[in-house]
Structure 1
C-alpha cells in the first residue's frame, strides 16, 4: 500500500478539501476523485426533508469512507452485471467477477451445453444467496430468451435474516422496474417475465449437517425446508459459499473487508458452523477427503453442496471459489464422486481466450478464460 506523503495530501487538499479523507481508503488520487464524485451525486440526491443540506451529509460520508467503510455500503448499492443491487452492513457486497460467471452460465444454458434442460421450466436454487444478486441476474438473462418464462423458477437460500431482507427488497425493486418497462415490451412476454419473478422466493435454511448442536440449531435444514415447500428437486444448483480460510482472511483480504463485511459469509470457521472446534472440523474434512482432494478449512461447504446436489437430483452445479488451487481441490472432489460427466474451471473472465493452453496441470481439468480462478462448474 503506497504511503501518503504530506506534500501529496496538501496537493490533493488544494483540489478539494475532502480528498485527503478519501485518500485514506483509496490511496490514489484518481480513485479518490471518482469516489468523491459518486458520493457528491448521492448526497445531492438525498437533499430532502431528511437531509435538507447535502454538504454536511457529504462530509459525514467522506469521514466514514476514511475509516474504511465500503463505498457500496455508503451508497447503498452496487452494480451486478446490468442490475443495481441494494446492499448494506451485514450482507456481502456483490462482485463483478461473480456476475461474469453467472452471465457465462446463462449463455451456456441457452446454448444447451449442459444437456437436455428446458429453459422455460428451469428450476434454479442459489445457496448462500446474500443480496439475491445471483438469482436476480440469472432471471434477467434467461427470462428474456425463453419462449414462455412464466414457469422459470428460482429460489434463494441463506441463514442470515439481513441477507434475506436485502434479497426480498432487490426482488421487489426489480419488479417495480419491470412495470416501468411495460410500455416498451409485448404484454404476453412481460406477463411471463413478471410471473416468474413473482414466483422467485427466498427462504432461511442451513446447508450444513445438523449432527452437532450449534447456535443455528433453530434454523431449519435445507432438505426438510424444501420438502415442506413441496419442491425437493432442482435442475441447477449455484452457490457462492464461505470459502476463505481463517489464515487467508487475516492475510489476503483488505482491511475494509475484514472490518466491515460479514465474516460469516466469507469464512467457514468453527464460530459460524456446526463444528465446535477445529479438530472436529479437520476430522470431518478427513472423512470426506478419502485421500483424493486433500480439502482444507476453506473447502468445508463443497462436500455438503455435492451431497445436496445428489439429494435434489441437480443436473448442473456452479460453485464460486477463491483461486485455481481451491478450484483444483473442488474439481478433484467432484471427480472422486464419479457421478458427474464433466468438470470445468472458470477464471474471472470466462469468455476471454485463455492465457495458456487452457489446462490445469493437476488433474488436467479444462480451464476457461483469463484472470484468477473463480468458479467450478460440473454437469451430469
Structure 2
C-alpha cells in the first residue's frame, strides 16, 4: 500500500487492486463497472504503489490519445523500475513510436491477414472436429490457447512445440502480481528468444520476428537489446490476448442460447457478423495499459503531479452508459460502429486487431456450425483472473 499523496483529496481515495477486484471471479467486466458506477469518475487508489483510475469513456479516450501529458513510458501497474528496458513499442511515445511500430503494422495489414485466412480456417476446423465427438472440453487448453498461438508462432516462425514452455511465462508477464514475477517472466522470454534473435539478425527471413529484430529505426538498425525487448512484447501479446478474448466470448455464449441462435442464423451475413464481433469485444474487454503523467496539471478537476500513474481501463469505455445505451445488454443489432476501446485508441491502437477479429470470426463460424449448443459443465464455473490483461484461465464446456 502507498500513503495518500498530499495532492489527492480524501474523497477521491478508493481501494482498487487491479489484481484482486471484488466480484471478478463471477464477471470481471461487471466487477470493474461496479467501481465505475459507485465512485467518482476519477479516483486514486493506494494499491500497487498508488495510482489514479479514470473510469469514464471520454476520459479514457482523452488519456489514450494525449501522449504529451499521459506518456507510455511506463504502462504496468505497479511500474517496472526505471532501469528496466522499455517494452518496445508500447512504452515508446510518438513521434519515436512510429518507427518502431512500422514493421508490426506492415506484417499485420489486412491483405497479409487475408492471406492467412485459409490457414486460420483450416486449423479452426481441425481443432473443432477433433473436439466434437468428445462432447466436452476444457476450452482454454483445448482451443483458446491453441488456435491464436499456433497462428502467431507460425507468423514469427517459431516452433509450435515451444507453446508449453512459453505460455506460463506469458501468464506471469501479463497477470503477475509483483514486479519480481513480471521481471522473471521477461527474463525467461529474453533467454528463450536470444538464440533465435541472433540467428534472424544474421540471416533474416520473411517472418515477423525477422522484420522486428532487423527494424530500421530512423536509418539505423535496431540494437540487439531493443530487438529483445521488442520481440518479447510481441510474443506476450501474441500468446495471451486473443486467447483471453476467446475465453470470455465462449463463456458468454455458453450461458446465452438466444445469442448462439442469432449468431448461427447470421453466420453467412458478413455485415451482421462484423457487428456481432464488435459487440462481443465491447462487452468483454481484456487489456489494460497505464500511463505516466508528464507534468503537474489539472485534469477533470483533479490536480495530477508529474510522475503519477493513471490507469484508463480499456474495458470500461464500452460499459459506460454515457457512451453506450444499455451497455450491459449484448445486442448484435447495435448500430455500427460499436463504441469500444478494446484495442485502445490513438497511435497505440493494437496493430494485431485485424488478426484478432479474423480469429474470433473463424471460431464463431466453425464452432457454431459444428457445436451449435453447448454449456458450462454443471457444477463448475470458469476460473477468471484480473491483471494488466484480464483472462479466463479455465472453462469447462459440454455439449
TM-score tier after normalising by the smaller chain length: under 0.3
Q: Which is strand-richer, 1 or 2?
A: 1
TM-score normalised by L of structure 1: 0.25
Larger radius of gyration: 1
Higher relative contact order (CA 8 A, sep 6+): 2
